[in-house]
Amino acid sequence: MKLSIPAKLFLAVLAACALVLAINGIAGRLSFERAFLGYLNEQGVQRMQQIAARLGNEYRKHGDWGFLRGKPETWFQLLRPPQVDAEDVLDHAPPLSDQSGVIMRLALFDGQGERLLGNPTAAAADAIRQAVVVDGRTVGWLGMVPLEQAVAAGDVRFYQAQQRAWWINGGASVSVAALLAWVLSRALSRRLRALTSGIHKLAAGDYATRIAGTTGDELGRLVQDVNRLADVLEQTEQSRRDFMADISHELRTPLAVLRAELEAIQDGIRPMQSASLAPLQGQVQQLGKLVDDLHELSVTQAEPSYRFAPIDVAAVLEAALAGVQGRFADAGLDLRADELQAAPLLVHGEERRLQQLFANLLENSLRYTDRGGRVHAAVLREDTRAVIAIEDSAPGVPGDKRSRLFERFYRVETSRSRGSGGSGLGLAICRHIVQAHGGEIRAEPSSLGGLRIVIHLPLLP
């Protein structure tokens, strides 16, 4: 069975807490046994050295251990700290070694290893030993029971009480950790369910779905990203529907004309002659222009298809103006360059796309400017940008409609009519070309009475 993320989090926190408690318990016990008990044993060894020195002096005086055999009172007298007399022993604190029971853990052995006095357990192999040396000769041994054995043997109840306290503390800590992990996993599970539910709805095509409850943490930022993705998907879906509707609308008119004309020819209403075929040829050309523009629109949206290089944008605009002078003159329009930068204005661009950009803008002015009007072009440097402006005379575009000029298939029907033969994609293509070059394009009212298109392109450093 696969565990959910909240369940894994719950188990991970619980296991981590239990592991930390186990490590702390083991480390505490080792520290107690090796550090604290070791320290007390070291104190006992120092005390043994002092007692061994006193026993050596007494042995030197008497010549053997006879003065101690069967005389425990003399033994305890020698074990007593030298600075404390019998009458004021209660007025002085004994050494730390004596407080930890060193005296009761000691035993004296003669040179042959026979115990004379003291704790019988000190004869064990793991006992701590200290030689009693007189004039360079070992005459006996002091043995001391290690504190670990003394604790294990005599303080079992204390150790058991410590174990019980440790288990109680561990159980309480694990319970608190389990409660906190459960609360955290429950909150996380609730947020994950909301997130997964929203993503499933988006995957099913419900792009109006939005996930509530955003916060400042990672999940909150993920929810914000999913909501932004939902916005993009909703806009994309709406754009797709609008695009399909626009395409069907644009195709319907020429197809309807073609169908009607062909049916008229088939029914004998119109004779099969050049005059009858001319409208069909015009509709076919309009369909071809629409298909070409759709292809150009798709290509200009794909930035990887561009081949960028340093380009003098002023030279490209000047060449575009020279190429359409004749057509503007035939249409009765005055085309002039108001201001062209003399020094090169280098941009990171593709020459063919920039030529297409200026050609589309000039074609737009040629198609929609009244006869006898004017079209002016200018290019200049503004800080780190090249500014290109193309403006024409009447008719103009109302202010509430200028912002939509760069949308696909949008036309201002009252002035820039469908009768001019445009597909409504030229300015949309221009916008994508400018954006692919990292620039901006906008429409403004012209001082000549028509429309002014302004383009900003970043210059090369």
Beta bridge partners of 110: 140
Lowest mean pLDDT among 90-94, 131-135, 148-152: 90-94
Q: How many Cα atoms within 13 Å fall on the side-chain side of residue 306?
A: 22
Phi/psi for 291 (5° steps) reads: -65, -45
Give the span between the Cα atoms of 279 and 286, in whole angstroms.
Answer: 11
The pLDDT tens digits for 223-274 are: 888 888 888 888 878 777 776 776 776 677 678 778 887 888 888 777 877 7
Tokens found for residue 266: 């088939």
Domains of the chain, by residue range, sit at: 5-154, 228-301, 306-458
Nearest to 106 by CA among 80, 79, 143: 143
Give the span between the Cα atoms of 394 and 175, in whole angstroms.
Answer: 82
Give the span between the Cα atoms of 254 and 258, in whole angstroms.
Answer: 6
**Cβ contacts of residue 202 below 8 Å, gap of 6+?**
209, 226, 229, 230, 233
Helix, coil or strand: residue 312:
strand
User: Quick one: average pLDDT of 376-383?
Assistant: 90
Give the span between the Cα atoms of 122 and 108, in whole angstroms.
Answer: 9
Could you say which architecture CATH assigns to the domain 228-301?
A: Orthogonal Bundle (1.10)
The pLDDT tens digits for 312-345 are: 999 999 999 988 988 899 999 999 887 776 678 8
Q: Are 320 and 358 in contact (CB under 8 A)?
A: yes
List strand residue ranges (DSSP E) for 111-267, in order: 115-118, 128-134, 137-144
Residue 458 has pLDDT above 90, yes or no: yes
**Cβ contacts of residue 224 below 8 Å, gap of 6+?**
214
Alpha carbon separation from 257 to 276, 278, 299 (Å, rounded): 12, 12, 29
Q: What is the pTM of this model?
A: 0.47
Q: Are 15 and 181 in contact (CB under 8 A)?
A: no
Give the distance from CA 323 to its chain's centroid. Answer: 53
The per-residue pLDDT of the chain, averaged, comes to 79
Residue 380 has pLDDT above 80, yes or no: yes
Reported CATH class of domain 306-458: alpha beta
Q: Are 218 and 188 in contact (CB under 8 A)?
A: no
User: Quick one: average pLDDT of 104-129?
Assistant: 84
pLDDT > 90 in the chain, percent: 11
Helix (H) or strand (E) holding 282: helix 274-301
Sign of CA dihedral 104, 110, 115, 117: negative
Tokens found for residue 151: 């604790």
Nearest to 101 by CA among 55, 154, 141: 154
User: Quick one: average pLDDT of 24-35?
Assistant: 66
